[in-house]
Amino acid sequence: MDIPKIDNLQIRKVTEDVLLLHQIKPPSVFSCCDGLLILPKEGRNQNAVVLDANIEPKLVNEVNFLYDPITDYVCTHGHMDHIAHVHAWEEIGATIHAPNTEAHYLLDLRNFYEGYGFNQSVKFSAIENFGKLNKFQKCKDVNTFEPGDMLKFDKFEVETIPFTGHSKSHVGFLLKEEKILHVSCLGFDQPKPEVDGFGPWYGFRECSISQYLKDIDMADMIYRNLEYLTSSHSYIAKNPDMSPFDYMRRKIKENQRKVDIGLMNIKSTPNFEEKVKKLLKLDIFFPKKKMRGFLQEIYTHWESWIITKHLQQSKILKY
Ligand SMILES: [Zn+2]
């Protein structure tokens, strides 16, 4: 099969009839994510199905021009890089499916704002600006499923796997027949094996590092019996390449070390909240001093949770 060419879209072959869609230049950092296009196949699915490919409307239209009709689209969770352009898939006629408890974030930015607890420290106008920056538009209607459900489109089966360290209903996809595990935002975000990304991301109250480690172990176990590992922001790994799992565990350890080093320097600071405040000033994870306005507000919110999660795990704090 020849891979079609679309400007600004990289289409990579995972198997003969499963393609990975990757927008090369997103309008902003949190605008897009890679996902899978399941081509129609005799005896499996009659129409094309898309799994979590949040790419801009222009590209959605071009993909649809090639593979129309695309009847179903499955979203993995409600973070901005997974919801901004889903409306475009709805507009070309796909039914949108998303996991329960985060599905309604696709319908209204206010749900996204309150659902992730931004309202604790960030103004709604900051989230409106963030939505504009990433070209967010809402969907009209979303079907919900429970994380862990098996979804079926004709005879194509996709098992949703809860990876809840990242968000409370975040799922990956197990395509058993196709021998593919798509871990979505578990933290495998390397564009190439030798290049690091940010790694596992836990910048909200609902995230959990200990759950993350369990999720990584579970994904590792599932992938051992499969052939391909894909994610929302990475290259396609092939068994026996297990390095993505080492990478994710290493990134969490490195983050812990960064917070612990910061902590040694502010040991005399009395309470937990003061410690978080002082560590935030060190710009350990994000260059917030260089940021202005709503982005500074949002990144500060995220980093305060990343730091909090590591303080809760820190051995240094116990002394
Ligand atoms: Zn995410």
Using a pLDDT cut of 90, give the percent of the chain over it: 95
Whole-number pLDDT of residue 270 = 83
Residue 269 CA to ligand 1 center (angstroms) comes to: 33
Q: How many CB atoms lie within 10 A of CB 114?
A: 15
Average pLDDT value for residue range 14-43: 97
Using a pLDDT cut of 70, give the percent of the chain over it: 99
pLDDT averaged over every residue in the chain? 96
Residue 265 CA to ligand 1 center (angstroms) comes to: 32
Residue 76 CA to ligand 1 center (angstroms) comes to: 8
Residue 276 CA to ligand 1 center (angstroms) comes to: 23
Per-residue pLDDT band at 316 (split at 50, 70, 90): confident
**Would the pLDDT of 317 be above 80?**
no
Q: Where in the chain is the domain with CATH 3.60.15.10?
A: 9-249
Residues 106-126: tens digit of each pLDDT? 999 999 999 999 999 999 999
Residue 264 CA to ligand 1 center (angstroms) comes to: 31
Average pLDDT value for residue range 51-77: 98
Residue 185 CA to ligand 1 center (angstroms) comes to: 5
Residues 169-222: tens digit of each pLDDT? 999 999 999 999 999 999 999 999 999 999 999 999 999 999 999 999 999 999
Report the CATH number of the 9-249 domain.
3.60.15.10
Burial of residue 273 (number of CB atoms within 10 Å: 0-12, 13-18, 19+): exposed
**Would the pLDDT of 251 be above 70?**
yes
- What 125-132 contacts at long range (C-beta under 8 Å, 24+ apart), as own/partner pairs, is 125/294, 126/293, 126/294, 126/297, 126/298, 127/294, 127/298, 129/293, 129/294, 130/30, 130/80, 130/294, 130/295, 130/298, 131/80, 131/84
Q: CA-to-CA distance for 242 and 237, rounded, in angstroms?
A: 8
Residue 314 CA to ligand 1 center (angstroms) comes to: 24
**Would the pLDDT of 278 be above 90?**
yes
Residue 92 CA to ligand 1 center (angstroms) comes to: 24
pTM tops 0.85, yes or no: yes
Whole-number pLDDT of residue 192 = 96
